[in-house]
Homo-oligomer: A and B are copies of this chain.
Amino acid sequence: MVSPKLNKMAYGGDYSPEQWPEEIMTEDMRMFKLAGIDIATVAVFSWSLMQPDEETYQFEWLDEIMDKLHENGVYACLATSTGAHPAWMATRYPDVLRVDFEGRKHTFGQRHNSCPNSPTYRLHAARLARKLAERYKDHPALAIWHVNNEYGGICYCDNCAKAFRVWLQERYGTLDKLNKAWNTRFWGHTFYDWDEIVPPNILSEHSAETRTSFQGISLDYQRFNSDGLLDCYLLEYNELKAATPDIPVTTNMMFMFKQLDYAKWAQYVDVVSWDSYPSNETPLSHVAMWHDVMRGLKDGQPFMLMEQTPSQQNWQPYNGLKRPGVMRLWSYQAVAHGADTVMFFQLRRSIGACEKYHGAVIEHVGHEHTRVFRECAALGSELQELGDKLLGSRIHAKVAMIIDWDNWWAMEFSSGPTIDLSYMNELAKFYDAFYGQNIAVDMVSVEADLTGYDVVIAPVLYMVKPGFARKIEQFVERGGRFVTTFFSGIVNENDLVTLGGYPGELRKLLGIWVEETDALFPHMVNRIVMAEGRELEGFKKKYTCNLLCDLLHVEGAEVWAEYGDEFYRGMPVVTCNAYGQGEAWYLASSPDGEFLADFVKLLAKQAGLESVLSAPPGVEATKRVKDGKSYTMVLNHNDMEAYVELGSSTHKDLLSGQLISGNIQIAAKGVWILEEA
């Protein structure tokens, strides 16, 4: 459960009554009741109010808020306010200020602005967390701790440089090992003293954010920065847990956020939470995938949907409104993928500064007679009806897809073969093929236990970390199906190439040797020509592919398809290698969606993967299971009603209370939660 105090799907969101006159909060409480809101994230950005100067702390205002929340049956997701330091701290202790990628020391402004290696910041952030923990540890409203907010950003200041050297000493021990790991004899960059190492930015190794001369140092700086912010988090975490060991602690994560190794971070949060901000043009499967990433971070444990907008955002280029029903639909999409809360940014719109045009449950008009409020209240009511039914339920997937932040960083720092390679794009293409067939996928790290899975997909597994190749071999030996692609098996954890022929450590398993890799200009495609007889397996004759084309030779693998164009026409583009009880597939180029759809169908057939529901395009279905009961969630993302075949048995839709079966219509933007014993 998200928190021992929350016995239903918590519903609420970010709330800043300290920005308002006192009477407003009374009105808010009235409206929260109308909307069924029972959780409020408070004190997200209130450091300057909590600590007006170095020696003074004032919490009376927060006491009042906490008390009033409690009086009104609203729990607090209590934030620590360390996501933005006070102005006085910036003036008095400039070490809290970041130096950016361009080497510019910042002054005061924005948020997420503190240097993670600032002694001042660390001291005061931990102290504030301790004060809060001590003051509110027994407060009945306190349901969960929310450390900081959307950690991120990178600093390149002198304190960071020093801390980086310490981090490197811990990692490498000796300069000799570091020089080897970074291959510093290239361009004569050998370091003879730790102090010669400077942060990699535009003033040193970089010519742009992802263009570096030395991948080794740049990759390590990403790790160091992720670890540095994690250290800041842990300072607060430890203070909070010392006072309130039973109150769960989280920090909110972000969509496709590259900077932080969430797989590592997740080990240190009690519950995962994240902020979901798709635009109206974001593919639905991308959001679904990221929900699954969040669920995967702690082995399937339900997560919190910490933030979403009730209507529109403000910070995108074009902030379209969520269409009627979409807020509800996307809320349930989160639940369908494992969320156990539905929360918003924000409960009431501020009147000034940069988020005043961000949607809110209570808009500037201030009353409940708005489309947005009505939709929020309707959902609140449904969630109250649902009670604890789905709470803690799990999703059982037989497909695992690997996501690895080191791989992401390393691949996109690579100089060559193409600037268009995007790890997220490639993951999303594969994910989308499973999503389109309503086959559940777990997004897991390279550390994950793979024994429960039938299929493991690792698109563009450029970096193979120690032990992973052996683990995946064992997985296949035992009958698993493994799929990987072009530009895989190239480097080790230090971005040093594995010699002896690509795909390096995966070569034996895949039964191929990749001799060369061609990069295609954006206007170019090649063709995937299926081998004779593959129609019987459900394939068309031809598909397209682009981006990169590996030129490979089979070493035992079976050729399923060949290139149709270029001088490597006739060379294999899809291969499958029998290995032990299982099979290992290789896709030598980036195929089109049609190919992937057909390929997933084949995998499903071969591995006996179950589709939750066979449904028309745009109708998504997942299954959460708890205490022997299963809850099939069906979501119609289309603008039109759709027909779904439920079969002859009767299902109870928890939302409408109706019993349904057979070939039945689901409304446009409609949602069912079908309970089955």
Contact = CB atoms under 8 A, between A and B. Distances in A.
A314 B417 contact: yes
B312 A416 contact: yes
B185 A19 contact: yes
B516 A371 contact: yes
B318 A420 contact: yes
A547 to B, nearest CB: 10
B87 A192 contact: yes
A-side binding surface: helix, strand, loop or mixed?
A: loop
A673 B315 CA distance: 52
B186 A19 contact: yes
Nearest to A87: B196
B45 A188 contact: yes
Contacts of A323: 567
A318 B520 contact: yes
Contacts of A281: 521
A198 interface: yes
A104 B202 contact: yes
Interface in A111-125: 111
Of the four ranges (under 10, 10 to 19, 20 to 34, 35 or more), the interface on chain A belongs to: 35 or more
Contacts of A518: 312, 320-321
Interface in A189-218: 189-193, 195-198, 200, 202-207, 212-216
Contacts of A357: 414-417
B502 A364 contact: yes
A103 B519 CA distance: 36
B189 A48 contact: yes
A668 to B, nearest CB: 11
A667 interface: no
A399 B627 CA distance: 73
Nearest to A149: B187
A204 B107 contact: yes
Interface in A321-341: 321, 323-324
Contacts of A200: 109
A111 B88 CA distance: 37
Contacts of A216: 352-353
Interface stretch (A294-302, A491-499, A529-537): A491-499
Contacts of A648: none
B183 A16 contact: no
A517 B357 CA distance: 10
Contacts of A203: 104-107, 109
A395 interface: no
A47 interface: yes
A677 interface: no
A88 B365 CA distance: 59
A200 B498 CA distance: 47
A193 B52 CA distance: 11
Contacts of A311: 516
A380 interface: no
Interface-centre pick from A53, A110, A370 (highest chain B CB count, 10 A): A110
A159 to B, nearest CB: 15
Which 8 pairs show the lowest CB-CB distances between chains A and B?
A183-B352, A314-B416, A109-B204, A357-B416, A109-B205, A87-B196, A186-B353, A48-B188
Interface of A: 16, 18-19, 45-49, 52-53, 81, 84, 86-88, 90-91, 102-111, 181-193, 195-198, 200, 202-207, 212-216, 280-281, 311-321, 323-324, 349-358, 363-366, 370-372, 414-420, 494-502, 513, 515-522, 551, 567
